[in-house]
Amino acid sequence: MNNEVNWIRGITPNKHHQQQLKVGIGDDAAIYGHDKKMESVVAVDTMVEGIHFTKQTMPMKSIGHKALAVNISDIAAMGAIPQYYLVSIAIPKTSWKKKELNDIYNGMNELATVWSMDLIGGDTVSTNDALVISVTVIGKVEKERRLLRSNARCGDVVFVTGELGLSAYGLQALLEKGYENIDDDELLPYLQAHQKPDPHVRAGRLLANCGYRIALNDISDGLASEAKEIADASQVTVELDWAAIPTTNKLKEYPQEKQEEWLLYGGEDFKLVGTIGKENWEKLKAAFQAHSLPIFKIGSILTGNSEVLLKKENKREVLKKTGYGHL
C-alpha cells in the first residue's frame, strides 16, 4: 500500500445512513448523537488469515461480509440494532493486492447497507505475517430490553432460531476442495452458511420487543459452548434434546457422531440460542411464525450446577467438550 491516505479515501462511504452520525471518517475520532431512551451496545471480533479463513476457502467479498457479520450477530444476541462499525486491518506487505483488499471492504459495505450501518473509522497497519481484520460494531437497544445470558430460570424452554451444522459442513467441503473447485449446487446452502452468514437481527429485535424474560446468546463457537455460557451466567443446567435440534436432511444421513461434531461443536452458525418461560413459549412461537421467522424448541432449563446435558433416547450425558477455543 504505497498511498494509505488515498486508499482510505477510496473505501470511505459517500453517504451516511444514521442521522445521529455527526462526524465520520476524516477526523481523529467519530462523533454521533445519543438517544436518551436507548443504551449503547458494543461488540468486537477479529479474524486472522489461516485461522478463520484462507484465500482457498473464502472469496474476498465473503471475507469482508463475514468479518462484519460475526459482530452484527453479537449485537443481535443483545436484542439490539446495529448502527456503526470500525475496521482495523493489518496488511501483509507482499501477499495481498489492493483489489483484494478493496473487495473485502466492498463485502463489508454490502452487508452494512442491508442494516443501514455506517463505517466511522478504524486503523491500517502493515505486518510481516498474516492478514488480520478486527471489526468493532456499535448498536443501540431500548433501556430495560437488553437480552442477557443470565436471564435463564428453571423450567424455561430452550430455543434456537435456525438449523445448525451447515457452516461446519460447508467448511469441511471447502477445506477438501477449495471454493473455486466446487460445482455441486447441493452444497451451495452450506457454502453460503460458512462464507456469508446471515445475522439474526430481526429475531433479536423480536425477542427484545416481546416483553418476556429472555436469556440469549449467539452461536459462534458451537451450540454446546453457547449453552454452557448461559448455564454459567444463570447458574442453571441446560438440557438439550438431541432429537429436537434442527438441521438439514442431508446432515441427518451421516453417522450420529459426525452430526454431533457439526451441530454441537462446529460453530459459526450465527443463529440465536435462548430461553423463555414455559408459559410464554407458544406465544413467542406464534409471534415468530407471524413474522415468517424460524424458531425451534430444543430443550429445557433444570436446576443444577452450570452444566449442559444432552438427552438421547431418554438417556442423559454431560457434555464435557465445548466448542472452538483459541486458548
Binding residues, by number, are: 28, 45, 52, 74, 105, 122-123, 149, 218, 220-221, 268, 324
Binding residues for Mg(2+): 28, 45, 74, 123, 218, 221
Please state the residue numbers annotated as binding site for substrate. 52, 268, 324
Q: Where are the alpha helices (DSSP H) in the chain?
A: 4-11, 60-76, 98-114, 166-177, 188-195, 201-209, 223-234, 249-252, 256-260, 281-290
Three-state SS at 317: strand
- The two beta strands, 296-302 and 308-312, are unpaired
Q: Are strands 237-241 and 296-302 parallel, antiparallel or unpaired?
A: antiparallel
Phi/psi of residue 114, nearest 5 degrees: -55, -40
Residues within the annotated binding site for ATP?
105, 122-123, 149, 220
Please give the Cα distance from 285 to 290 (Å, whole number): 9
Nearest to 48 by CA among 125, 134, 123, 121: 134
Please report, as a single letter, which amino acid is at residue 139: G
Cβ atoms within 10 Å of 62's Cβ, excluding its own: 22
* Sequence-distant (≥ 6) Cβ neighbours of residue 256 within 8 angstroms: none
With a CB cutoff of 8 Å and minimum separation 6, the contacts of 188 are: none
Integer angstrom CA distances of residue 209 from 204, 260, 273, 291, 292: 9, 33, 17, 13, 16
Q: Is 35 left (phi over 0), alpha (psi -120 to 50) or beta?
A: beta
- Give CA–CA dist 100/107, Å, rounded: 11
How far is 77 from 75, CA to CA, in rounded Å? 5
